[in-house]
């Protein structure tokens, strides 16, 4: 209605060029490096990228350990659908780590030899800071509980 209430006026809405694709583009331009994307946790497609070591000749089963860890992490409500396992077992851990950096997953968990020891130790890499830490399962669960997805 206009000011005297006698005529209906149509309203139009616009985003003024700040659509979702523009926000993603600006984020990539502002935060990424020459070697990869750096997604903020709040808009990252996935939060955790698990890289299992190739299964060994002595019967080690790293893929099963990765699936078990993924199941444990996704039991946390805020991490459902946020965990990816790199099952390209024909590639080395280093090559898959490079790919994880390029894609910009905020956190990478590497299941190496220590992951099958008792107690298990997981190598956790924070992509944004390149900080690497070895964590027990309890420490990893505490760390994962602090990941913000919303």
Specify the CATH number for the domain of residue 36: 3.40.50.800
First to last CA, the chain: 38
Dihedral of CA 64/95/113/75: which sign? negative
36 pLDDT band, cuts 50/70/90, is: confident
As a whole number of angstroms, the distance between CA 60 and CA 116 comes to 8
Task: Say if 5 falls within a structural domain.
Answer: no
Task: Say if 78 falls within a structural domain.
Answer: yes
59 pLDDT band, cuts 50/70/90, is: low
Mean pLDDT value of segment 41-54:
92
Listing from the earlier edge strand, what are the strands of the sheet with 122-126? 83-85, 48-52, 107-111, 122-126, 131-135
The torsion defined by the Cα of 115, 42, 86 and 53, in degrees rounded to 10, comes to: -20
pLDDT(55) > 80 = no
The whole domain housing 96 covers 22-145
Specify the number of domains making up the chain.
Answer: 1
Query: Among the ranges 100-104, 114-118, 122-126, which has the highest mean pLDDT value?
Result: 122-126
Task: Say if 2 falls within a structural domain.
Answer: no
Task: Say if 126 falls within a structural domain.
Answer: yes
pTM for the predicted model, two decimal places: 0.81
Task: Say if 54 falls within a structural domain.
Answer: yes
Task: Say if 150 falls within a structural domain.
Answer: no
Q: CB-side exposure of 147: number of CA atoms within 13 Å?
A: 29
Task: Say if 45 falls within a structural domain.
Answer: yes
Whether the Cβ atoms of residue 35 and residue 104 lie closer than 8 Å to each other: no
Task: Say if 4 falls within a structural domain.
Answer: no
Whether the Cβ atoms of residue 102 and residue 37 lie closer than 8 Å to each other: yes
């Amino acid at each position: 209605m206009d000011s005297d209430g006698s005529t209906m006026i149509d309203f139009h809405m616009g985003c003024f060029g700040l659509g979702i694709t523009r926000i993603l583009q600006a984020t990539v331009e502002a935060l990424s490096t020459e070697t990869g994307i750096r997604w903020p946790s709040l808009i990252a497609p996935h939060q955790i990228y698990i890289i299992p070591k190739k299964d060994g000749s002595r019967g080690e089963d790293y893929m099963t350990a990765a699936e078990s860890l993924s199941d444990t992490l996704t039991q946390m409500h805020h991490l459902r659908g946020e965990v990816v396992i790199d099952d390209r077992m024909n590639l080395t851990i280093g090559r898959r780590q490079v790919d994880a950096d390029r894609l910009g997953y905020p956190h990478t968990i590497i299941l190496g030899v220590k992951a099958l020891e008792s107690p298990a130790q997981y190598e956790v890499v924070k992509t944004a800071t390149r900080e690497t830490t070895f964590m027990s399962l309890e420490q990893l669960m505490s760390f994962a509980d602090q990941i913000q997805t919303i």
